[in-house]
């Protein structure tokens, strides 16, 4: 329906005319058309357009942060030297960039279900091991912080595994079983608590299990003993709006017998 010259045909014809006059624009145009097609393909029936959301988000970041801090971003482009390695849950509500206001360059971050640190295992847990190894040995981070949180679906899943250990999921329960020692402890120590309070205790105790698991990595122990690294546990409660932080103290004493 050609009412004001702005139909799809008019737009395409206008573009074709321009490109026939300016051949050197063809490569740029091809790239832009590809991006536009991706954007249009992605539009859902409810109007949610993920490509547009991504584009708008990046444009905002670029305008408000990237272009207003050229010194910082210039330095960061050359290399990173974060002081923190952070383990946080994949939960959309607990990103460390939000809750601890981490800016680019501050924290090397691992995010997985229930912010678990598995024990040293080159077969079963190479992803986590690689991140810890790279952060401690290559980046030489000074602090590892494991952050648990309220209403954690992963911990709820752990607490829901029946006593005979049967699982219904492909991966989830297998993964959260890393936290089984925490579940046993809270069920034994806090048997009088309401279920939701039991889960909260388990969220915090699972952080301690993860801190203990960090000690199974020799390079972590070495850095701790040399006082180049500290391990901290934390719990973010987004119902109450609070943040708890605690230390794991670890050291090897000099010989006790002489």
Contact 181, 213 (CB under 8 A): no
Least distance to other proteins, CB of residue 124, Å: 6
Least gap, CB of 52 to other proteins (angstroms) = 11
The verdict on 243 binding other proteins (CB under 8 A) reads yes
**Distance between CA 156 and CA 186 in Å, rounded?**
13
Q: Which stretches does DSSP call E strand in 32-128?
A: 84-89, 107-112
Q: What are phi and psi of 246, to 5 degrees?
A: -145, 160
Number of residues that bind other proteins (CB under 8 A): 95
Residue 239 in contact with other proteins, rule: CB under 8 A: yes
User: If binding is defined by CB under 8 A, does position 26 make contact with other proteins?
Assistant: no
Strands 143-149 and 107-112: unpaired
DSSP line for 9-55: HHHHHHHHHHHHH-GGGHHHHHHHHHHHHHHHHT--TTS--HHHHHH
170 binds other proteins (CB under 8 A): yes
Q: Is 44 in the site for other proteins (CB under 8 A)?
A: yes
142 interacts with other proteins by CB under 8 A: yes
Q: Is 66 in the site for other proteins (CB under 8 A)?
A: yes
Q: What are phi and psi of 145, to 5 degrees?
A: -120, 125
Compute the least distance from the CB of residue 220 to other proteins, in Å: 12
Q: Which is nearer to other proteins, 102 or 250 (CB)?
A: 102
Options 162, 165, 241, 254; binder of other proteins; rule CB under 8 A: 241
**What are the angstrom distances between the C-alpha of 31 and each of 49, 177, 189, 208?**
19, 47, 61, 50
Range in contact with other proteins (rule: CB under 8 A) among 15-23, 129-137, 192-200, 248-256: 129-137
Asked if 12 interacts with other proteins (CB under 8 A), we say no
What's phi and psi for 181, nearest 5 deg? -60, -35
Considering the complex, state which of residue 19 and residue 238 has its C-beta at the smaller distance from other proteins. Answer: 238
Q: Which of 24, 41, 192, 194 binds other proteins (CB under 8 A)?
A: 41
Residue 68 as a binder of other proteins (CB under 8 A): the answer is: no
Q: Does residue 161 contact residue 177 with C-beta atoms inside 8 Å?
A: yes
Residue closer to other proteins (CB basis): 1 or 74? 74
* Residue 219 token pair: 């390079």
Closer residue to other proteins in complex, CB, 5/171? 171
Q: Which is nearer to other proteins, 17 or 83 (CB)?
A: 83
């Amino acid at each position: 329906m050609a009412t004001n010259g702005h139909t799809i045909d008019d737009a395409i014809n206008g573009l074709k005319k321009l490109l026939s006059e300016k051949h050197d624009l063809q490569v740029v145009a091809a790239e832009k058309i590809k991006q536009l097609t991706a954007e249009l393909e992605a539009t859902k029936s409810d109007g949610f357009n993920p490509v547009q959301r991504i584009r708008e988000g990046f444009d905002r970041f670029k305008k408000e942060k990237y272009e207003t801090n050229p010194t910082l971003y210039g330095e960061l482009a050359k290399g990173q030297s974060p002081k923190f390695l952070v383990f946080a849950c994949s939960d959309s509500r607990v990103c460390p960039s939000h809750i601890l206001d981490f800016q680019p360059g501050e924290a090397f971050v691992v995010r997985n279900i229930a912010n678990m640190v598995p024990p040293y295992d080159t077969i079963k847990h190479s992803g986590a091991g690689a991140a810890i190894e790279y952060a401690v040995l290559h980046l030489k981070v000074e602090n590892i912080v494991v952050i648990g949180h309220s209403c954690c679906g992963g911990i709820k899943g752990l607490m829901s595994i029946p006593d005979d250990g049967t699982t219904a999921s492909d991966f989830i329960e297998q993964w959260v079983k890393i936290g089984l020692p925490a579940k046993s402890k809270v069920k034994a120590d806090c048997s009088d608590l309401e279920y939701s309070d039991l889960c909260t205790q388990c969220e915090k105790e699972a952080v301690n299990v993860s801190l203990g698991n960090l000690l199974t990595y020799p390079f972590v122990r070495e850095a701790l003993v040399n006082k180049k690294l500290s391990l901290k546990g934390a719990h973010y409660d987004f119902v109450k709006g609070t943040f708890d932080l605690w230390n794991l103290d670890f050291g090897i004493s000099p010989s006790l017998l002489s």
